[in-house]
Structure 1
């Protein structure tokens, strides 16, 4: 019987660059490669510790003097929609959902370009071409799905979400939608529908990425009930969003070596 030695998970830090969420800030990420037969176990374990997936990389903000970015997830069993969220459900009742393998299409890319050009024309993804888009969708070493939403009357593609299936929930990696239908609150609806998917599958959480106090791009996440954030090494109720600050402080972030030492890694040794 052949045995293989485990390869230690290595962590790296990106060079500082402009923060996409808060003006005037510099962003830095702690990241590790996601590959091999145990990629799913690593994705599950690190997602529970505030990491996010982008293609074959897991990352977490590690800025020098800022700790504003807080990983957020919703407890499915405790979630109750607000009045406006119930309206979004009713307004989108004509949409049909299809979950597909992670394979990019020209139709998806056309919608993606419309969304970026309208919502994020000056963002870091604004220049993404069709090949880079295909890589974002298809380069996944874990269990992922592309969830499409179509207008049942016209069959027009209306919204798309790249979703990872974790052992304790669904992680919304990236979503985009028709920007010309603001009254339908499509971004909110995609999250609400994923809560329903998770409930049907018996999964306890829906991971939303990062909530950033003071960021208009991320503020909507605080509108969901039963929202938890990952803070000081544990998940806790968000509570009052106003109590959180995005002020910088030179002692707000632990040294990189200490951050890495505090990460709990799964046993990635091959089974006998």
Structure 2
């Protein structure tokens, strides 16, 4: 990868960790003045970065290395028994790809999802959180008959698909374990496109809501700059 200028990365201020109680955290963020491209973003994804809106970042904590970026090798992925049952449970759903951008109807579902899962009712800025003007983003829509019940936001890169965020109507999606179905669908879609990986985000061993990723095998984690297998927990 050839950058015409050195890539500038800045540390954020310290803040309370969202995942590990009692811990403090900070991120390293890519210079917001950088003219980001999908080629540069793909390089950064493979180097452990993620995207939140137009900000590209990675954890940069002094005394903790618990956030491990992950990837699933789609051609080697084998769904386990639970994932196969989940696929059968959701085989009646219709999946549609929206490549045209954020829809206003997503905001209400996102707010309902946050209220149910995170006791957070603040949905302002959801479009800015999920999208970036320079990014090739897809919205995967899941329908029960004619009703939209879930949305998975993914970025399409040269090396794979990066899972940005999945949300759903908790009244419909929870009993279907729609988050599981959304990720396995992305793995199958990446394989269909001839891509190598799906990047499901950070794995944190000691955080219940972030340690599920090792159920998708084989899974690799970027540990001290080297991609290594992560065993199922």
TM-score bin (small chain): over 0.9
User: Whose strand fraction is larger, Structure 1's or Structure 2's?
Assistant: 2
Could you tell me which residue of structure 2 aligns to residue 17 of structure 1?
15
Q: Is the 8 A contact 2:101 2:137 kept in 1?
A: no
Could you tell me which residue of structure 2 aligns to residue 84 of structure 1?
82
Deviation at 1:237, TM superposition (A): 0.5
Q: Count residues in correspondence.
A: 230
> Whole-Å Cα distance in 1 between the matches of residues 178 and 26 of structure 2?
30
Q: Say if 2:135 is the partner of 1:137.
A: no
Q: 1:106 to 1:182 in 2, by over 3 A?
A: same
Any idea what SS the aligned residue of 1:77 has? coil
Q: Is the 8 A contact 1:34 1:43 kept in 2?
A: no
Aligned residues: CA RMSD: 1.8
Deviation at 1:197, TM superposition (A): 0.5
Where do residues 38-53 of structure 1 align in structure 2 (5 Å cutoff)? 39-53=37-51
Could you tell me which residue of structure 2 aligns to residue 94 of structure 1?
92
Q: Say if 2:182 is the partner of 1:184.
A: no
Where do residues 64-79 of structure 1 align in structure 2 (5 Å cutoff)? 64-79=62-77
Q: Is the 8 A contact 1:102 1:137 kept in 2?
A: no
Could you tell me which residue of structure 1 aligns to residue 214 of structure 2?
222
Could you tell me which residue of structure 2 aligns to residue 237 of structure 1?
229
| Structure 1 gap segments, 5+ residues each | 242-272
Could you tell me which residue of structure 2 aligns to residue 127 of structure 1?
122
Could you tell me which residue of structure 1 aligns to residue 156 of structure 2?
165
Q: Say if 2:148 is the partner of 1:148.
A: no
Deviation at 1:7, TM superposition (A): 4.2
> Whole-Å Cα distance in 1 between the matches of residues 181 and 205 of structure 2?
22
Q: 1:136 to 1:187 in 2, by over 3 A?
A: same
Q: Is the 8 A contact 1:14 1:28 kept in 2?
A: yes
Deviation at 1:39, TM superposition (A): 1.4
Any idea what SS the aligned residue of 1:78 has? coil
Deviation at 1:149, TM superposition (A): 1.0
Q: Say if 2:202 is the partner of 1:210.
A: yes
Structure ID, larger Rg: 1
> Whole-Å Cα distance in 2 between the matches of residues 68 and 237 of structure 1?
16
Greater RCO, 1 or 2 (C-alpha within 8 Å, sep 6+): 1
The normalised TM-score by structure 2 is 0.92
Deviation at 1:33, TM superposition (A): 3.6
Q: Is the 8 A contact 1:73 1:207 kept in 2?
A: yes
Any idea what SS the aligned residue of 1:170 has? strand
Deviation at 1:191, TM superposition (A): 0.3
Any idea what SS the aligned residue of 2:149 has? strand
